[in-house]
Amino acid sequence: MKVLIVGSGGREHAIAWKVAQSPKVDKIYCAPGNAGISEVAECVNIGAMEFDKLTAFAKEENIDLTVIGMDEPLVGGIVDAFEAEGLKVFGPCKNAAILEGSKAFSKDLMKKYHIPTAEYETFHTPEQALEYLRHSKYPIVVKADGLALGKGALICNTKEEAEDAVKTLMLDKQFGDAGATIVVEEFLIGREVSVLSFVDGHTIKIMTSAQDHKRAKDNDEGLNTGGMGTFSPSPFYTEEINSFCKEHVYQKTVDAMAAEGREFKGIIFFGLILTEQGPKVLEYNARFGDPETQVVLPRMKNDIVEVFQACMEGTLNKIDLQFEDNAAVCVVLASDGYPEHYDKGYKITGLEQFQNKEGYYVFHAGTKLDGSDIVTNGGRVLGVVAKGENLKAARENAYEATKLVCFDNKYMRTDIGKAIDEV
């Protein structure tokens, strides 16, 4: 089989690496890819939003399966574009990717189908939102309806902050049309857990849990980022919580989408918060998480291509999804200064030490080839992943492995997975 992967981050590198394990696969392409991905796939210089070029490429190269990693093309209808050309593609159609693409849609869906989530109101004008904020309890969360690079949820401690948030989203239009509608939501307290799942329209199979560290600095200080590290499984995601979510969240979401005529095939990523009143859904994503994928897929035993095919064919009920009984930790090596100002173009050394090192991986996020060198090319540069028999061992292994890689402005958090010691 020939497989095309669309995207260019650490998530897509982990997907490409996992696809490469499949005996069914002869050749992998990635558009646009990065320097690390080019070790397992041939990178093609086509952007993820260039649907016409991507479908033309897939037809020309007789691609058997295309896997979409990123949210923006999914929400923009890339799956519909591929299917219109008779091409096989893994991911939700546009009318189902709205589960991630519109927070107002997903909140209304949860309300209608009694799926536990934070209380909320939706507003289309700043006047209505500001009036509502006069009588609200604080803190409160103000969210852009649409995609905003993970930066569209503003936690506001006071009325003044919330008013500023409404201004930022609706008047200054910081996230463009994504902020034309906003959701104002009750602030919830609890631990966050990421649960990824495969869905074939009707059947849902849950992967192992993970937890992301979103803030730039240790102790969850500093600015929000795309994710500074992850661990899997989350010790806070207990069997009891799993049972609750199976009954009240997972299948209900899939059934709700089908009942709305929006059959969902692909990945649903449940962003959960474990509150004192029980687990609630903070958000849905319609794709693999980044950097959750980097700790989840190395622990997955199945041939991922078989699972992708089962999702597309509606036979997921026949798949026995299995994960190793161990743990994995991913420490992101970033450029110092991320997520604000940082320099790039620094030579990276030591990467070859990960080759054939059992249980250790280095997934590239922002790297590129410069002659025969690999250089830094983004805020998040690499995800160093290690497995271990438990989370503590995985963490020790991962931090040990971060020492193997050098580049000039290397920065990382030193406490990824540390909260697990409390359990």
- Applying CB under 6 A, the site for ligand AMP has a residue count of 14
| Minimum CB distance to ligand GLY, residue 369 (Å) | 26
Task: Give the nearer residue to ligand AMP in terms of CB position, either 103 or 252.
Answer: 103
Q: Check residue 286 for interaction with ligand AMP (CB under 6 A).
A: no
To ligand GLY, the closest distance from the beta carbon of 246 in angstroms equals 22
Of these partners, ligand AMP, ligand GLY, none, which one is at the site of residue 283 (CB under 5 to 8 Å by kind)?
ligand AMP
Tokens 């857990």 sit on residue? 193
Distance of CA 182 to the CA centre of its chain: 22
**Alpha carbons 264 and 200: distance in angstroms, whole number:** 7
Token couple for 403? 């020492």
Q: Using CB under 6 A, which of the segments 55-63, 177-185, 287-295, 305-313 binds ligand GLY? A: 287-295
User: What does the alpha-carbon distance between residue 78 and residue 82 come to, in Å, rounded to a whole number?
Assistant: 6
Please report how close the Cβ of residue 241 comes to ligand AMP at its closest, in angstroms. Answer: 17
Q: Which does 378 bind (CB under 5 to 8 A by kind): ligand AMP, ligand GLY, none?
A: none
12 binds, among ligand AMP, ligand GLY, none (CB under 5 to 8 A by kind): none
Distances (CA, A) of 419 to 219, 325, 411: 9, 20, 20
Residues 321/302, Cβ–Cβ less than 8 Å: yes
Q: Which is nearer to ligand AMP, 119 or 247 (CB)?
A: 119
Minimum distance of ligand AMP from residue 399's CB (angstroms): 24
Q: Which does 138 bind (CB under 5 to 8 A by kind): ligand GLY, ligand AMP, none?
A: none
Q: Which residue has the tokens 């918060």?
A: 273
220 vs 336, beta carbon nearer ligand AMP: 220
Is residue 282 a contact residue for ligand AMP (CB under 6 A)?
A: yes
8 A C-beta contact, residue 300 and residue 232: no
Report how far apart the first and last C-alpha atoms of the chain are (Å, whole number): 44
How many angstroms separate the CA atoms of 65 and 28, rounded?
A: 10
Is the Cβ–Cβ distance between 328 and 231 less than 8 Å?
A: yes
- One-letter amino acid at 60 equals E
Contact 145, 103 (CB under 8 A): yes
Query: Using the rule CB under 6 A, which residue among 12, 200, 292, 415 binds ligand GLY?
Result: 292
Contact yes or no for 362/36 (Cβ under 8 A): yes
What would the two tokens of residue 131 be? 């009036």
Binding-site member from 12, 64, 145, 290 for ligand GLY (CB under 6 A) = 290
Q: Which does 192 bind (CB under 5 to 8 A by kind): ligand AMP, ligand GLY, none?
A: ligand AMP
Q: 419 contacts which partner out of ligand GLY, ligand AMP, none, CB within 5 to 8 A by kind?
A: none
Stretch that binds ligand GLY, among 35-43, 283-291, 296-304, 313-321 (CB under 6 A): 283-291
Our finding on whether 415 is near ligand AMP (CB under 6 A) is no
Residue 151 and residue 319: Cα distance in Å, rounded?
Answer: 36
Contacts of 367 (CB under 8 A, 6+ apart): 34, 35, 36, 348, 374, 375, 376, 377, 378, 381, 382
Q: CA–CA separation, 385 vs 398, rounded Å?
A: 6
Neighbour-count burial of 343, counting CB atoms closer than 10 A to its CB (0-12 exposed, 13-18 middle, 19+ buried):
exposed
Task: Restricting to residues 123-162, name those near ligand AMP by CB under 6 A.
Answer: 141, 143, 152-153, 155
Q: Which of 283, 290, 292, 415 binds ligand AMP (CB under 6 A)?
A: 283
Among residue numbers 166 through 205, which ones bind ligand AMP (CB under 6 A)? 185-188, 192
C-alpha 105/C-alpha 397 separation (Å) is 42
> CB of residue 139 vs ligand AMP: minimum separation in angstroms?
8
Decide which of ligand GLY, ligand AMP, none touches 290; Cβ closer than 5 to 8 Å per partner kind: ligand GLY
Nearest to residue 383, comparing CAs of 354, 362, 406, 404? 362
Instruction: Using alpha carbons, select from 1, 81, 7 the residue that is nearest to residue 267.
Output: 7
Residue 194 beta carbon to ligand GLY: minimum distance, rounded to whole angstroms: 6
Of 58 and 282, which CB lies nearer to ligand AMP in the complex structure? 282
**Phi, psi dihedrals of residue 149, rounded to the nearest 5°:** 55, 35
* Residues 172-231 within binding reach of ligand GLY (CB under 6 A): 212, 227
Q: How far is the CB of 319 from ligand AMP (least distance, A)?
A: 28
Residues that bind ligand AMP (CB under 6 A): 118, 141, 143, 152-153, 155, 185-188, 192, 271, 282-283
Residues that bind ligand GLY (CB under 6 A): 150, 212, 227, 285, 289-290, 292
